[in-house]
């Protein structure tokens, strides 16, 4: 009986081993298949969808309102109404160009694989192969024809899109969403194919004239910016990369960034030396000049941080709107107690546009992060509706929303879950403003204004106290004189 149990146990163990081996083989085969199907690393950065940690802050800021461009939003019910207009534009384009649809398809087929590599493969696998090519054709022709109509007055007759300002504005907004894009080389190919002899041939210039919805002016990317040339990835990237600070500001920023990198490298080298000394058994005293990471973080945060607008105003800083011709919205200056800031217009879609530009900088940019730095600077200035009111009275903020509290809330949340780079575009201004506010006279003036001049009743109470003090002093003086005389 005992021998029989041993046989049964041995058989059970063998079955388990066979089962485990079978499961292992299945896992190995599945992983091998996944590795075999893995596409090569694309040479171009793909059109990433906005990650969840940004979308969960405000998902609607990244969602189109009336039109789907590209594969990510294709087929959504609330965007179906615009599909008819896409095919209508394709028909008009075909009639003007007198070309066949097959000609367009043949040209885009040569770019099909390159275009597919611009998107997430796992997302494209959910759709039919021909559906992607059709999307590139229909959406690309719609954008090209829309821009042509937008800059040519004689092409807008009887077009329902251009008869409604709200529809046109919503379209422009949707075309500048990060995950609602087509690769720019698709647009350029369709534009060149459908170009007539007497038509304007500069697509980029036409795009700049069509999208006039940025919240402030900026310098176009020219040679004097001394920035590396980057390929045009899509419409949002084109608008971002040509909405820049002045060349002088960019030069100063890049110079300070290089210095920051050098200081970081020097610090790393210093840390390596200290580590080697420690490994050699040498003890370091607290006077060696090193500071803790926490202290360094505090020092850095203090450098790239300023008080809100009302507190700066209490410290004697004045706010002035910049009105110089050709001024960029990013060109903020501080001198002699005056903070000069270009005008910022805030309306319904400003938050969405800024969020998409910020998301673009997070995943695409490797030179300057001027939109993030500008947003952080404004976030420092704006803590409450009182700060917005002060900037609005200074004509720096043009608030089309009407509610100052909404603007304050917008800036206080724009950078939630956003990674902030070291070496801000405004580091020099942070240092100058903090230095100005740290002067004893300015500190005393700020405290006086905050404690005694923050309202009419506080001012009346202060004046009454001063009057009472003077009256008491005069009474004491007369008493002394009277005693001396007697």
| pLDDT exceeds cutoff 80 at 43 | no
Question: In this predicted model, what pLDDT tens digit does every residue of 324-342 receive, in sequence order?
Answer: 666 789 999 999 899 999 9
Closest CA to 47 of 133, 120, 121: 120
| pLDDT exceeds cutoff 90 at 141 | yes
Of 125 and 386, the structure prediction assigns the larger pLDDT to 386
| pLDDT exceeds cutoff 70 at 21 | no
Phi-psi region of 114 (alpha: psi -120 to 50; beta: other; left: phi over 0): alpha
| Confidence category of residue 181, pLDDT binned at 50, 70, 90 | very high
pLDDT at 213: 84
Phi-psi region of 336 (alpha: psi -120 to 50; beta: other; left: phi over 0): left
Counting residues of the chain whose pLDDT is more than 90, the rounded percentage is 40
When mean pLDDT is compared across 52-66, 240-254, 399-413, 439-453, the lowest value belongs to 439-453
pLDDT at 44: 54
pLDDT at 331: 92
| pLDDT exceeds cutoff 50 at 484 | yes
Task: Count H helices and E strands in the chain, helices first.
Answer: 21, 5
Q: DSSP strand E in 363-483: where?
A: 397-399
C-alpha atoms less than 13 angstroms from C-alpha of 136 in its C-beta half-sphere: 28
| Confidence category of residue 480, pLDDT binned at 50, 70, 90 | confident
Q: Once rounded to an integer, what is the mean pLDDT over residues 335-352?
A: 93
Closest CA to 318 of 252, 371, 263, 390: 390
| pLDDT exceeds cutoff 90 at 267 | no
C-alpha atoms less than 13 angstroms from C-alpha of 450 in its C-beta half-sphere: 14
Q: Once rounded to an integer, what is the mean pLDDT over residues 59-83?
A: 92
Report the predicted TM-score, pTM, of the whole model to 2 decimal places: 0.77
């Amino acid at each position: 009986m005992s021998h029989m149990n041993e046989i049964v146990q041995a058989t059970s163990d063998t079955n388990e081993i066979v089962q485990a081996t079978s499961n292992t083989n299945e896992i190995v085969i599945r992983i091998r298949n996944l590795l075999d199907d893995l596409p090569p690393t694309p040479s171009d950065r793909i059109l990433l969808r906005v990650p969840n940690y940004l979308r969960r802050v405000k998902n609607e800021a990244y969602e189109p309102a009336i039109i789907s461009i590209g594969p990510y939003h294709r087929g959504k019910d609330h965007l179906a109404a615009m599909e008819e207009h896409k095919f209508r534009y394709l028909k008009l384009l075909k009639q003007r160009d007198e070309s066949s649809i097959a000609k367009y398809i043949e040209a885009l087929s040569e770019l099909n694989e390159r275009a597919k590599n611009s998107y997430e493969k796992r997302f494209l696998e959910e759709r039919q192969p021909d559906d992607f090519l059709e999307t590139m054709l229909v959406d690309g022709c719609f954008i090209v024809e829309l821009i042509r109509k937008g800059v040519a007055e004689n092409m807008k007759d009887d077009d329902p899109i251009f008869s409604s300002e709200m529809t046109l504005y919503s379209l422009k907004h949707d075309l500048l969403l990060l995950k609602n894009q087509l690769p720019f080389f698709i647009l350029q190919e369709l534009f060149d194919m459908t170009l007539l002899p007497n038509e304007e041939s500069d697509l980029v210039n036409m795009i700049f004239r069509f999208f006039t919805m940025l919240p402030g002016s900026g310098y176009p990317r020219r040679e004097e910016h001394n920035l590396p040339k980057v390929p045009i990835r899509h419409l949002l990237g084109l608008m971002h990369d040509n909405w820049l600070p002045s060349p002088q500001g960019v030069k100063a920023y890049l110079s300070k960034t290089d210095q920051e990198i050098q200081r970081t490298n020097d610090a790393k080298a210093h840390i390596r030396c200290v580590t080697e000394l420690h490994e050699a058994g040498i003890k370091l005293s607290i006077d060696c000049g090193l500071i803790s990471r926490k202290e360094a973080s505090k020092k850095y945060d203090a450098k790239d941080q300023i008080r809100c607008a009302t507190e700066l105003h209490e410290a004697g800083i004045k706010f002035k709107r910049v009105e110089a011709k050709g001024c960029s919205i990013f060109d903020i200056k501080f001198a002699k107690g005056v903070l000069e800031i270009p005008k910022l217009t805030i309306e319904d879609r400003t938050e969405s546009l800024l969020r998409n530009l910020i998301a673009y900088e997070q995943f695409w940019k490797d030179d300057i992060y001027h939109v993030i730095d500008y947003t952080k600077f404004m976030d420092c200035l704006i803590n409450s509706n009182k700060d917005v009111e002060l900037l609005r009275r200074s004509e720096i903020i043009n608030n089309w929303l009407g509610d100052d509290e909404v603007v304050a809330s917008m800036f206080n949340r724009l950078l939630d879950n956003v990674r902030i780079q070291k070496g801000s575009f405004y580091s020099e201004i942070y240092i100058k403003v903090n230095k100005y506010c740290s002067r004893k006279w300015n500190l005393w003036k700020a405290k006086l204004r905050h404690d005694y001049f923050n309202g009419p009743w506080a001012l009346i109470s202060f004046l009454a106290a001063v009057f009472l003090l003077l009256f008491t002093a005069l009474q004491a003086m007369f008493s002394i004189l009277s005693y001396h005389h007697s």
